[in-house]
A and B are shown apart, each in its own frame.
Chain A
Amino acid sequence: MRRIGVFICHCGSNIAATVDCAKVAEAARGFPGVVYSADYKYMCSEPGQEFIKAAIAQEDLNAIVVASCTPRMHELTFRKTLANGGLNPYLFEMANLREQCSWVHTDKEKATVKAIDLVKMAAAKANKNEELTSSTMPVHKKALVIGAGIAGMQAALDIADAGHQVVLVEREPTIGGKMPMLDKTFPTMDCSACISTPKMVEVAQHPNIELLAYAEVTEVKGFIGSFTVQIRQKAKYVDHDKCTGCGLCETKCPSKVPNEYDLGLGQRACIYKPFAQAVPNKPVIDPLHCRKLVDNKCGLCAKVCPTGAVNYQDAERLFTDTFGAIVMATGYDLYPWEEIYGEYGYGRFPDVITGLQFERMVNASGPTGGKLKRPSDGQEPKSVVFIKCVGSREPAKAKGYCSRACCMYTAKHAHQVLDKIPDAAVYVFYMDVRAAGKAYDEFYEATLKDGAVYLRGRVSKIYQEGSKLIVKGEDSLLGRPVQVTADLVVLATAMIPSQGSRELAQTVGFLPDLDGWYQEAHPKLRPVETPTAGVFLAGACQGPKDIPDTVAQAGAAAAKVCGLLSKSQLETNPMTARSNPAICSGCGLCVAVCPYKAIQLISLADRDRYGKRINRTVADVNHGLCQGCGACTVTCRSGAIDLQGFKNNQILEEVDALWR
């Protein structure tokens, strides 16, 4: 039985107005375990807290009940008071006499009876409270950033600048992601390469960032503070230490294949850098098409290489490291419109391209040297049609959500066509124009002034007539069908999570949402965290967004990581589940219901009833992951797993107290 001190607060008149605090204090003296009770005007005030500390000392109390306001307000305050008074902060219960009694009742006599009951419940629970101490978990001061697009680079830089070690992993041979592929960026039309390549260089040169390009995360174990991660770097067949990046091999390589970086518009050699300003600025060999690697012929690149960096026997390398936090920055891909959109020709017409292909063409370092050409005959297009919401806002057969950035980049493209081809005709088929960012709408208005013709309606069919594309649609403002003869059609295709992101989420251990975007912990209050502690989100992997939002989110994720890594140890929440191996039968029902995968079945060395050594399976709770929801305690029929701070016997006492 505990020696409990009960402290009834008047809260000025908030409680005292409709609850006879003296009467409650007097009644509390009769509760089991209560050895001291008093009431005071303001328990949460400085003198109030001193009053408690004094009582602890004088009356040799070992449990405290404060009957005042909602614990959501002052539980922490009073826990600190207990700690200062030399008591374990968890030997403490609160009765909510304000929000849930005095403020919601008028009849003083009945309210006082209820108050006495509430204090009796709190005291009954306090009787069974145990001393809880939060254990600590080591925090490895190292962050892992998966994906080195603008989001990953920005997050890595911010974390590294804060003095922490970062490992940045990128699947492609070069970092930079989609941004260096672009020509200009809205709304300021500054050159995309000019603002992204410096960041790439900064990442490559940053002392705290270890860059692992051409590599993928294959396995993640552990939990917040100590994630053990295995990274597989694909075979590069070029020793980047010896290679100086002179590019001689690229010019000599005889076999040319379509360059994925140019989305099929350009060619590249089999020993290649995706684009000139690639970082790391050294080539890798394409194992699927290189004649040497495929059927052991050629080998020209090794011959011409001045530093002998080419090594056809190169093998993939495995890295394993431990990280305190992980930032997901895996970005987006474009929706495979060819599979769904028969109206636009299922991809049969070469002159129907996507926004990214358009970007590659207008990009000076692109396959067409910045010249807009029709992929069919290479001619300069005089009439260009843009179609927005291809796959977005199309719940019937594609994606239901709006991809946010297409309205702006389509306006940008229209602007670029009108700039580059003075007498060109530009048509944009649209449903709405969403230009909500800073200086966005002004940019759209400017494009209109440049002469872009915005036709409000969907395109019903595109077909080839001779060398021209006939675009049939509707202008819903005029209420008339419209037909445009176009040289080039550019589709603003929907954004979808990058290929393989769902499997990666499973590897790291959190859930994507129904569309495959990574699920944030709380859409409004915790947008850059995931429900899995220690895993953060940055950029389009969390949902379609443009570059300004991505960079802002990357900074936020970095701030969260720095907050986590600034501590060498993490205090775990002590009110977590704990399994009692003596009672646990190892049925594993609890493992399935834990939202945080905090419970696993382990083998326990034990003795059977005759003393013979055996190994049996029992459940084991990882206190770093467990958030204390208690779902497992109900699934466990024998009550082997119990939630500290809300144990079965504590709640039963609370229930019983009301009817004693």
Chain B
Amino acid sequence: MNAIQIKMREVAGQLLSLGEVDRVIGWEKGRFAHQSPPAFITDETKVERLIWDEYCLTGTAKYLLDDPYRAGKTGLFARGCDARAINRLIQDGQVKRENIVIIGICCTGMSDSVSRQMAAKCCDCTHPTPVVYDLMIGEPVKPVAKPERFKAVAELEQKAAQEKSEYWTRQFAKCIRCYACRNICPACNCRECFADQYRVGWLGKQHHTAENQVFGLTRAYHIADRCIECGECARVCPVGIPLMELNRKLIKDIQQLFGDYHAGVDSETAPPLGRYSLDDMEEFM
């Protein structure tokens, strides 16, 4: 693992000292061994803080949105999911490609900070190697089709309506409306989220199961054709709601209905729900 870490520090040091970027976003150690939160390094003497271990779980791309109009360029360490997140942000017009120096890292999967096993999102990862980068660290690997990642969805689909209804009602009863799933998601880059627009009345502020479900369903539909399957929403949810099952259900349907489409793999192909085809499946005749 530390071969990558040494390379990361070397590259970050160069970029900062040459002034190519005025900050680098990577990961650093937290207080405990299983914590490697994002790190923001602004001067080359501090690159020693950068680390690469099995707990670098948080996505780095969405931090580009914190101050979208800052002048300087950002050096961004990007694993497979971060690269797709960058494509996502570029395609949504929130970030300009020329403002980022992408340092791709061929990721081999991270560990869950509680179970210490391979994190769920990494088991299901199809594009471990970054799809867009300026320079690359590690051995590139071809994308892996992992159809079994839809297994949980397929099982749930077979269940009776009542059972599915109870399952999701119970899950969303746990929701504490902390909006961590929305704030970590690279596909959620609205300037003002529908959940915050109380005057329009999309969503009540009350914390109870019905409003939680409306928020969960609406957010799932909003990112249906743009979710890059980075799995962060499910990871950061403090009460463990299986949000990726909702997203995977939509992704599976969209791929079956409108042909193979992987969000964020390139920044040209428009998301399927924003286009149409004359010979789309006809179910409403």
Contact = CB atoms under 8 A, between A and B. Distances in A.
On whether A and B touch (CB less than 8 Å), the answer reads: yes
Interface of A: 582-589, 592-593, 601, 608, 612, 614, 616-617, 635, 637-640, 648-649, 652-653
Contacts of A608: 67, 69
Contact of B202 (A612, A640, A648): A648
Given A640-B191, A649-B200, A592 B93 contact: no
Q: How large is the interface on B (under 10, 10 to 19, 20 to 34, 35 or more residues)?
A: 20 to 34
A588 B189 CA distance: 13
Contacts of B270: 592
Contact of A612 (B69, B190, B194): B69
B92 interface: yes
A587 B201 contact: no
Contacts of A588: 93
A652 B201 contact: yes
A588 B271 CA distance: 12
B191 A585 contact: yes
A639 to B, nearest CB: 6
Given A586-B94, A616-B69, 5 more contacts: A583-B197, A585-B189, A587-B189, A637-B190, A637-B222
A586 B192 CA distance: 12
Contacts, number: 61
Contacts of A637: 190, 194, 222
Contacts of B271: 589
* Residue of B69, B200, B271, B275 with highest tally of chain A CB at under 10 A: B69
Interface in B18-42: none
A585 B92 contact: yes
Contacts of B200: 639, 648-649, 652
The 6 nearest A-B residue pairs measured at CB? A638-B190, A585-B191, A587-B92, A614-B69, A637-B222, A583-B192
A638 B192 CA distance: 6
Interface string B102-146: 000000000000000000000000000000000000000000000
Contacts of B92: 585, 587, 589
Interface string B182-202: 000000011111100101111
B143 to A, nearest CB: 26
6 contacts: A583-B190, A583-B197, A585-B189, A612-B69, A635-B274, A637-B222
Interface in B175-217: 189-194, 197, 199-202
B222 A585 contact: no
Contact of A592 (B190, B193, B201, B275): B275
Contacts of B93: 585-588, 601, 617
Nearest to A608: B69
Interface string B64-96: 000111000000000000000000000011100
Interface in B124-177: none
* Residue of A582, A589, A612 with highest tally of chain B CB at under 10 A: A589
B270 to A, nearest CB: 6
A586 B190 CA distance: 9
Contacts of A638: 190-194, 197
A617 B68 CA distance: 12
B202 A585 contact: no
Interface in B212-261: 222
Interface in B262-276: 270-271, 273-275
A639 B197 contact: yes
Contacts of A583: 190-192, 197
A592 B269 CA distance: 12
Contacts of B191: 582-585, 638, 640
B201 A649 contact: yes
A588 to B, nearest CB: 5
Nearest to B70: A608
